[in-house]
Structure 1
Amino acid sequence: MDTAPLPVKESSYVAVATDRVSEYSDTGSTKKMPKKMIRKWEVFPGRNKFCCNGRIMMARQTGIFYFTCILIVVTSGLFFGFDCPYLAKNVTPAIPAFGIALFIFVMSTLFRTSFSDPGVIPRASPDEAADIEKQIEVPNSTPGTYRPPPRTKEVVIKGQVVKLKYCFTCKIFRPPRASHCSLCDNCVERFDHHCPWVGNCVGRRNYRYFYLFILSLSILCIYIFACVLTHLILRKYSTVLNK
């Protein structure tokens, strides 16, 4: 007995991933062809710029960051080119080896601080923003009138009352120690400051790398200064002994 194939109903669904929002169309075939693909960094509302398909996140103004890189590279290059050969020959080869390792660590912490997410808090969706605005009941107000959101909100955390400040740009009550960066136009968790030397904000997710960068850079500067001073002293005494 011949049976007619059942009609296939056209349907569509939306697949949401952690780093992209993809829309697919199911036309009854076994193969689902992508209809539209939009990644979150492509519609990011802040003022950051992205590279390497969204894996690198930086601020818009990166001129001082490039100057920082050039300053470190040129200073270290002069040290490795003029001082290290003499010190490695007359003192110990460990001096340039330690200098190279320290230089690599400085640059890696700098790039990790500059290219990472400092702790940006996602903005509220239109539905979430409307729900927050409805949380305040204005007495003696006519129905349908606009009610502005509250500037602060009190919540109880571990038995203690904590005040959360409202961000009128991101439409959220940001957590304690969070602040809105005017340069990047983002609310950053545990915001410390916006550092133009690294070209990024310093917050919860990159503060440790920023601290390691400052510490290692200070050690590198002291190390180069001490080695250059040693080089000059050895040159001076060798000239005196040769005479």
Structure 2
Amino acid sequence: MSAVMITRKVRKWEKLPGKNTFCCDGRVMMARQKGVFYLTLFLIVGTCSLFFAFECPYLAVHLSPAIPVFAALLFLFVMAMLLRTSFSDPGVLPRALPEEASFIEMEIEAANVNVPAGQRPPPRIRNVQINNQIVKLKYCYTCKIFRPPRASHCSICDNCVDRFDHHCPWVGNCVGKRNYRYFYLFTMSLSMLTIYIFTFDIVHVIKGSWSGKNRVQNPYSHKNIFKNCCEVLCGPAYPR
């Protein structure tokens, strides 16, 4: 029997020269600086845990059981969009191969052959026509490519990203062409969740939870937050 040598195929993410970390066989992609991302997880999960533990039992009994149910669904959607934004490819453009980089350098040197010695060469720009419009493509000295329109090089991840918006440390990833919609849904849903929790926290504070055995009435229950404030600030001073 002849031994069959099985060579493992090297995946593209394994030889990506950028500053990224990969997990789950390349399916999860993040920046190396993940400390702020863990802080984001802690703040969202911690705030919602306190809301479900202390506010939802009262709200479900005195207002509606649909309040904690909707909050749970909104929380799950926020977490799904956050993880999808953080773990997905933002649109990293592949770098030029050594042969491609050498060919581009030869083209640039041939175009600058008439530049006088000692004079600074012109910027590396290539003009292309897109929809009958002349578009200037800028050259990336790190990736050795002419970047498409709206692409930019992220100094933190050390990659060129298509339709680069910004590098968001709160999600631990760049925001670009392939994860922008998830980032947008994350920010919108997180804003809704924040307003939702804050609103029902205020409702709980105003409504009050007076369930003692003596059934004492809330002395500041004037059915209006402004009247309650006026009662506290402008009411008679209690004797010492």
What TM-score bracket applies, with the shorter chain setting the length? Answer: 0.7 to 0.9
Q: How many angstroms does 1:240 deviate by?
A: 6.1
Contact 2:208 2:218 in 1 (8 A): no
- The one-letter amino acid paired with 1:107 is M
Verify: 1:78 aligned to 2:50, yes or no.
yes
Which residue, out of 62, 72, 75, partners 1:100?
Answer: 72
CA displacement 1:38-69 (0-9 Å, x = unmatched): 22222110000001111100000000000000
Aligned residues: 209
Supply the distance in 2 between the matched residues of 1:124 and 1:193 (Cα, whole angstroms): 23
Which is bigger in relative contact order (C-alpha 8 A, separation at least 6)?
Answer: 2
Supply the distance in 1 between the matched residues of 2:155 and 2:196 (Cα, whole angstroms): 37
Supply the distance in 1 between the matched residues of 2:65 and 2:201 (Cα, whole angstroms): 15
Unaligned runs of 5+ in 2: 116-120, 220-240
Q: How many angstroms does 1:158 deviate by?
A: 1.6
Provide the alpha-carbon RMSD of the alignment.
Answer: 2.2
CA displacement 1:181-237 (0-9 Å, x = unmatched): 000000000000000000000000000000000000000000000011111111168
Verify: 1:234 aligned to 2:210, yes or no.
no
Query: Which structure dedicates a bigger proportion of its chain to strand?
Result: 1
Verify: 1:224 aligned to 2:197, yes or no.
yes
Supply the distance in 2 between the matched residues of 1:103 and 1:179 (Cα, whole angstroms): 33
> For residue 63 of structure 1, what is the aligned residue in structure 2?
35
Unaligned runs of 5+ in 1: 1-27, 142-147
3-state SS in 2 of match to 1:177 = coil
> For residue 204 of structure 1, what is the aligned residue in structure 2?
177
Task: Describe how 1:66-145 pairs up with structure 2 within 5 A.
Answer: 66-136=38-108, 137=110, 138-139=112-113
Contact 1:88 1:95 in 2 (8 A): yes
* CA 126–224 in structure 1, closer or farther in 2 if over 3 Å, else same: same
Contact 1:134 1:149 in 2 (8 A): no
Q: How many angstroms does 1:33 deviate by?
A: 3.8
Fraction of identical pairs, as percent:
64
Query: Which structure dedicates a bigger proportion of its chain to helix?
Result: 2
Task: Describe how 1:130-169 pairs up with structure 2 within 5 A.
Answer: 130-136=102-108, 137=110, 138-139=112-113, 151-169=124-142
TM-score by length of 1: 0.80
> For residue 231 of structure 2, what is the aligned residue in structure 1?
none
Supply the distance in 1 between the matched residues of 2:140 and 2:134 (Cα, whole angstroms): 19
